[in-house]
Amino acid sequence: MPRVSILLTCYNHLAYLPLAIQGVLDQTFDDYEILALDDGSTDGSREWLKQHEGGKMRCIFNEHNIGTYGTLNVGLREAKGEFVCILNDDDLWGPRKLEAQLEVFEKNPKVGIVHTGGWFIDDDGRRHPEAKPMGFAFPKTQTGDLLPMLMENNNMITSSVMVRKEAFDRCGEFDPSFYGCGDWHMWLRIAIFYHIGYADEPLTFYRVHGSNAAWNEKKMLDDTKRIREAILKMPGFGKRLKKDAWMRKAMAHNLACLGTQLLWDGDASGGRKAYRRSIKIMPFRFKTYARFAASFLPKRAFRALDRA
């Protein structure tokens, strides 16, 4: 049995696919399997994969396009490793990526996910000249109980993670109904039970190009709202909210963000209710008072003020 299963998600990125696979083959740790999961590519990716299947790589072809998270679930059912990595076919890994992550796992038995440092690259594979080409810096965290951090924002790049297979077995599969935030939803569910680890080396390289899912702002915002609503229903938060100041801050932040998104969507009543709940948890979060007051402005004016 391989120690690590690599779920390589493939969809119409033939120009990048060979480089992604080469980055895996160049790893200093080599006890792995590659499950190349093609989600109905039409650009020649399927044919290229068939020609290169064998050795450590096995190909699985979806008959129709079912989306990223449905495709990952197909891979999870086939994965044989103790650990699971995800690599999108347009991203790249540094040679020590797997080795460094396993070192973090060995030192931290409570850790269920390890992500790595890295940087953004452009279409040609060069380090991107902008620090925040997607609107955020490449995530960097500590190692430990980081559930409150994940309640505020998704602080892990999908291609950077390695996950204990037992964590997926315990928490279930990805929700395939998400467009682009199903990974965040999964990391939150895992972080309820496990710590988050971080390998502080530049080992994952996220490619920024015209077809990144994150560019679809409407769908990403819809996903984000669903996750912020789901956080309110996740188990085990009640006791932690009473004794953990970071959890209270994170929940107040989550409710305030949800309130703003509901206001943007025209649900003034729901938005104000979320703001009130946020204020109840953190009475001195003055920004929430300001947004609550602004919620009585016309929708267009509120959105313009919030974006300012």
For 69-86, what is each residue's pLDDT tens digit? 999 999 999 999 999 999
**What band does 302 get if pLDDT is binned at 50, 70 and 90?**
low
More confident residue, 140 or 241: 140
Q: What is the pLDDT of residue 241?
A: 84
Q: What is the pLDDT of residue 272?
A: 96
DSSP per residue, 232-298: TT-TTHHHHHHH-HHHHHHHHHHHHHHHHHHHHTT-HHHHHHHHHHHHHH-TT-HHHHHHHHHTTS-
Tens of pLDDT, residues 243-288? 899 999 999 999 999 999 999 888 999 999 999 999 999 998 888 9
**What band does 300 get if pLDDT is binned at 50, 70 and 90?**
low
Q: Answer whether 38's CB lies under 8 Å from 60's CB.
A: yes
pLDDT at position 18 over 80: yes
What integer best gives the mean pLDDT of the chain? 93
Q: What is the pLDDT of residue 306?
A: 61
Cα–Cα distance, 303 to 308 (Å, whole number): 9
**What band does 297 get if pLDDT is binned at 50, 70 and 90?**
confident
pLDDT at position 169 over 80: yes
pLDDT at position 100 over 70: yes
Q: What is the pLDDT of residue 305?
A: 54
**What band does 144 get if pLDDT is binned at 50, 70 and 90?**
very high
Cα–Cα distance, 73 to 202 (Å, whole number): 28
Q: What is the pLDDT of residue 304?
A: 58
pLDDT at position 225 over 70: yes
Q: What is the pLDDT of residue 295?
A: 87
Q: What is the pLDDT of residue 299?
A: 67
**What band does 238 get if pLDDT is binned at 50, 70 and 90?**
confident
- The percentage of residues in the chain with a pLDDT greater than 90, rounded to a whole number, is 84
